[in-house]
A and B are shown apart, each in its own frame.
Chain A
Amino acid sequence: MDRNQSHRQVATMKQSLFDQGYLDHEQFNQLEELQDDANPNFVEEVVTLYYRDSARLVHSIEQALEKSPIDFNKLDSYMHQFRGSSSSIGAKKVKAECSLFREYCRAGNGEGR
């Protein structure tokens, strides 16, 4: 009984993430399709890698923002990496934010307005 409830909760959460545009339906499905009996934890493993990688990138970005003057090329490079991995996971909103951030970098816009 509990298990079915958990499954339903997960399904609801997932659908809500799709609906709100946080998670890309197609890409996340691709990840789930790659999971099978021989690789039962694939999605969890790849998302865990993503979180770790993202934490590292966010830290580097924060540090880069502290510097004066801002090195926009470096920032752009970090954002490119972040955007790439977000795209691979289906993290749609993060990907969109990264793209926007990159536009500011290219415009040399340190304020982001």
Chain B
Amino acid sequence: MAAAGTESLRWNLAEEVGVSGCNGSGSEEFHVLAVDDSIVDRKLIERLLKSSSFKVTAVDSGTRALQYLGLDGEKSTSAVGFNDLKVNLIMTDYSMPGMTGYELLKKIKESKAFKEIPVVIMSSENVLTRIHSCLEEGAEDFLMKPVKKSDVTKLKDFMVKGDQAEKGKRSSIKRKMDDDILKLTMPPTAIASSSSEVEDQSSSASHSPSSSSSSPCSSPCKRTRLQ
């Protein structure tokens, strides 16, 4: 299938760059947990999300969503470890029998493990008080149904927000690794002179950031990689 093909290509690229080993989620694909009691809407949201290159898990109730996250008290049913199947966003319908989307939102925001995951509410009814309480409770956005392609492409912004800390870490690790590689390709004399440069210029601002940070970085980089 085309989807599987691009997935493995992305994985290979990530490995080349050397960042995939640093944490479990690895590839750039985001994983969305979609919650809706309507089978038609589930099918639609799944296709919408997949066509924007998201990985999707669609469930039919708030209870199932909590089970998937392992928040229902039954640790053994959790499908989500912290390093694999990581959920980057939860999209839930508001009006559902049993647990409403609002109630699900509250449970997620109350949970230490998952409160950082952005939650988006969907509804076919434009009720201002409803929208207000969801946003108050911490929802990132409130989408009117039927959900459109343009709504879905915007979701990436919410996920980057949550991922910002991780991405920052990853890109600084990448810079340090690049320096490592650079050092290996330089002749020994050049390395010696660059380290002495570092000592002389340690107090000055980083006009050449790579050379000033290259020497201390090799062991921390390796340690991080092994994680």
Question: Could you tell me which A residues sit within 8 Å of B by CB distance?
Answer: 27, 30-31, 33-34, 36-39, 42, 45-46, 49-50, 53, 77, 80-81, 83-85, 87-89
Contact of B40 among A37, A42, A49, A77 (CB under 8 A): A49
Q: A33 touching B2 by the CB < 8 A rule?
A: no
B27-50 interface (Cβ within 8 A of A): 37-41, 43-44, 47-48
Q: Does B21 reach chain A (CB closer than 8 Å)?
A: no
User: Does the CB pair A85–B41 fall under 8 Å?
Assistant: yes
- The smallest beta-carbon distance between B45 and chain A, in angstroms, is 9
Please give the distance in Å from A66's CB to the nearest CB on chain B: 22
Known: A27-B146, A30-B146. A84 touches B41 (CB 8 A): yes
Find the B residue at minimum CB distance from A56: B39
Q: Are A87 and B146 CB-contacts (below 8 A) given A37-B2, A38-B3? A: yes
Minimum distance in angstroms from B160 CB to a CB of chain A: 24
For chain B, residues 68 to 123, give those with C-beta under 8 angstroms from any C-beta of chain A: 95, 97
Q: Known: A33-B149, A42-B47, A45-B43. Is A84-B2 also a contact (CB below 8 A)?
A: no
CB contact between A46 and one of B3, B43, B95, B145 (< 8 Å): that residue: B43
**In the complex the two chains form, is B41's CB within 8 Å of A88's CB?**
yes
How many Å from the CB of A47 to the closest CB on chain B?
Answer: 9
Residues of B within 8 A of A39 (CB): 47
Chain B residues engaging chain A, CB cutoff 8 angstroms: 1-3, 37-41, 43-44, 47-48, 51, 95, 97, 124, 145-146, 148-149
- List residues of chain B with CB within 8 A of the CB of A87: 124, 145-146
Whether the pair A46, B51 counts as a contact (CB closer than 8 A) is no
Once the chains are docked, how many angstroms separate the CA of A22 from the CA of B97? Answer: 29
Chain B residues whose C-beta falls within 8 Å of the C-beta of A85 in the assembled complex: 38, 40-41
Most buried by B among A34, A38, A84: A84
With contacts A46-B44, A49-B39, A53-B39 taken as known, whether A88 is within 8 angstroms of B2 at the C-beta atoms is no
Known interface pairs A34-B51, A49-B43; A84-B124 also in contact (CB < 8 Å): yes
Report chain B residues within 8 Å CB of A81: 37-38
**Cα–Cα, bound, A27→B47 (Å):** 14
Task: Decide if A46 touches B40 in the complex (CB within 8 Å).
Answer: yes
Task: List chain A residues, Cβ under 8 A from B145.
Answer: 84, 87-88
Residues of B within 8 A of A36 (CB): 51
List of B residues within 8 angstroms of A83 by Cβ? 124
Q: Which residues of A contact B95 (CB under 8 A)?
A: 80
Chain B residues with Cβ below 8 Å from A30 are: 146, 148-149
The closest CB in chain B to the CB of A54 belongs to B40
A57 to B4, CA, bound (A): 36
The answer on a CB contact under 8 Å between B48 and A34 is yes
Can you offer 18 A-B residue contacts whose CB atoms are under 8 A?
A: A38-B3, A42-B47, A45-B43, A46-B47, A49-B39, A49-B43, A50-B40, A53-B39, A53-B40, A81-B37, A83-B124, A84-B145, A85-B38, A87-B124, A88-B38, A88-B44, A88-B146, A89-B40
